[in-house]
Amino acid sequence: MAKLELRNLNKTYTPKVIPVKDVSLTVEDHEFLTLLGPSGCGKSTILRLIAGLEEPTRGQVRIGNINVTNRRPGDRNIAMVFQSYALYPHLSVYENIASGLRLQKTPSAEIKQRVAEASRVLGLDELMNRKPGQMSGGQRQRVALARALVRRPDVFLLDEPLSNLDALLREKVRAEIKQLFDAQQVPVVYVTHDQTEAMTLSSKVAVLDKGCVQQLDPPDRIYNHPANLFVAGFVGSPQMNLLTLPCEGNSAILGHFRIALPELPTAPPQIILGIRPENVRIAESEDKNLVRGRVYLVENLGMHKLISVNVEGSRTEPITIRALVPTDQSWGGEDVTLTLPPQDTHWFDVQTGNAVSRRQPLAIGR
């Protein structure tokens, strides 16, 4: 058993190009860590630093309490699954899976045993004599996973392994990956820009932006308690409503309406209110925290409708709130009254973008 540690890892190409900035992470046995972020945020570079495919400018990579920063990739006992599958086109499935073990000079009998085990787990028994060109994308991905599994590594690294698959196949293989790695006893680091993969597969998620870790937490905390504006805006689809509102006294002004601020030492001139569309509801008679407006766009998403509402009483540019409501729900015309449940609101500092700690805000009224 081994754990993976990154200590103040830094990668600098030029003074202006620094894809990884002092990243420190720990991935324990049994943990599945996803590095999540937009293109160019540094997640693939971190994976390459762990694998030894790049050398860090500063910091350490430790596997099982051993500093492997200066070790070659082949001496780190890691297994990596690439986005492009990286299979040998002239070799059969069996030979592709066994190739790494043969390079390690593993005895033939043990190779057969390990390949048979991986093949059974991944449902490859009927494909062992085929070449990669004779298989579908999902089958080739399973072969790449099998090749990693037979290595019995100290750490698994997966670099966007599902990005080349269509939506239905991606969903199927994602479920297979979750079951597969739930049974493993070693750290797994998974790179993706897909939020669904991060939320469904991971025990921990590191959200990255511009080479820095913005938040490191379990998926539910990433979603329900974003640490800053970047995490709030990046995680979630549809995107969280983020409204920059003026403040008067202990209230934020939203159109004609006043919403109580969290307790702060000094009331700021502005604050950012965040609430996810699925938490915005069409109001009922007993609801509080009401906001009225006019619906100007309805998007049918199947099970839900995403409605966009211009808030009544906006002083300058229109303020828009989006709400995700059941498809069969109606609101009786263009005008609608929404409720913003206090327990589902988030507050962010305009200057720093960081979340503001709060007690549940209550509507003061019009």
pLDDT band at 31 (very low <50, low <70, confident <90, very high): very high
- Distance between CA atoms of 121 and 119, rounded to whole angstroms? 6
Which of 142-156, 161-175, 213-227 has the lowest average pLDDT?
161-175
Task: Please report which confidence band the pLDDT of residue 243 belongs to, taking 50, 70 and 90 as the band edges.
Answer: very high
- CA–CA separation, 64 and 252 (whole Å): 50
CA distances from 77 to 18, 80, 104, 116 (A): 27, 10, 11, 21
pLDDT at residue 189 in the model: 95
What confidence tier does 357 reach under pLDDT thresholds 50, 70, 90? low
Range with top average pLDDT, 162-166, 185-189, 282-286: 185-189
The domains located in the chain, with CATH, are 4-234 (3.40.50.300), 241-365 (2.40.50.140)
Q: How far apart are CA 151 and CA 74, in angstroms?
A: 12
Over the stretch 291-313, which tens digit does the pLDDT of each residue have?
899 999 999 998 999 999 999 87
Higher pLDDT, 169 or 150: 150
- Residue 39 tokens, joined: 């293109």
Average pLDDT (28-55) is 93
The model's pLDDT over 131-158, given as tens digits with 9 standing for 90+, comes to 988 988 888 888 888 888 888 889 999 9
DSSP assignment string, 107-150: -HHHHHHHHHHHHHHHT-GGGTT--GGGS-HHHHHHHHHHHHHT
Structure tokens at 231: 């995490």
Question: What DSSP character marks residue 180?
Answer: H
Closest CA to 287 of 363, 201, 208: 363
Tokens standing for 327? 């498809």
Q: Model pTM? A: 0.87
| pLDDT, tens only, 256-280 | 888 888 877 777 899 999 999 999 9
Q: Is 43 left (phi over 0), alpha (psi -120 to 50) or beta?
A: alpha
